[in-house]
Each structure stands twice: as structure tokens, then as C-alpha cells.
Amino acid sequence: MEQQLVFDPRVLMASLYVFALAAFLGYQIISRVPPLLHTPLMSATNALSAISVVGALVMAGRENHHEVSTWLGFIAVISASINVIGGFLITDRMLKMFKREVPTKPGARKRSAK
């Protein structure tokens, strides 16, 4: 016997309200972060995204009665993985901007090339 999904409109409206509020609040917080704090913030975001990957793996690998939840879990794994990889690439790029190059003497390269 197949189960039907029944959504209560009140639960759906409350969920949409929480989602919209979280999106607005997240945008407001991130837009006010000074550029100097972006690298530590990205590192913390990568850690949270890694937790999302674990949760998505659990959801995708769980024995479900509905195929939809397996596909949504798979999409969540892909999305969270892209977020983690992109976050690490951006953090690495930002950290490279703060590295100082060691000044070399003009003749130092010519001597080492021989």
C-alpha cells in the first residue's frame, strides 16, 4: 500500500516564513562583514557545509519508502559538496593574497640558474 504525502498548509507557511527570514537575516549579516574577516568566516562556513554533507549522505543512503527523498538527498550531497570545494578554493585564494613575497637581489636568479 502506497503512502500519500499530505502537507498541512500551516506547516508549509511556517516553513516558508522561517526560510525567508533566514535568507534575509543571512544576507544582512554577510553584507556587513568587513573584508578582513571574510577568510575566517569562510572557514567556519566550510565546516558547517561539511556537516551538511554528512546529513545529506544520511538522507540519500537511508532506506526510504519514497524515491523523492532519495533524489533530494542526492541533490543535497552534490550541492553541499560543491559548496565545500568552492569554499576551500576561495579561502585558499584569499590567504594567498596576504602572503608576502621574499624580496630577492637582482643577480640572485642568474647565479642559481648556472
Nearest to 11 by CA among 19, 21, 2: 19
The Cα 107–Cα 113 span in angstroms is: 10
User: What are 91's three cell numbers?
Assistant: 579561502
What single DSSP character describes residue 30?
A: H
Q: What is the dihedral of CA 59, 61, 63, 66, to 10 degrees?
A: 60
- Write the pLDDT tens digit of every residue in 18-63: 999 998 998 888 788 777 676 667 667 777 777 888 888 887 777 7
pLDDT of residue 21: 94
Q: Which residues contact 5 (CB under 8 A, 6 or more apart)?
A: 66
Report pLDDT digits (tens) over 2-12. 556 567 888 88
Chain centroid, CA 4 distance in Å: 33
CB neighbours of 73 closer than 8 A, spacing ≥ 6?
56, 57, 58, 59, 60, 61, 62
Q: pLDDT confidence of 65, banded at 50, 70, 90?
A: low
**Confidence bin at 98 (pLDDT 50/70/90):** confident
- Flag whether pLDDT at 114 surpasses 60: no
Confidence of residue 64 (pLDDT cuts 50, 70, 90): low
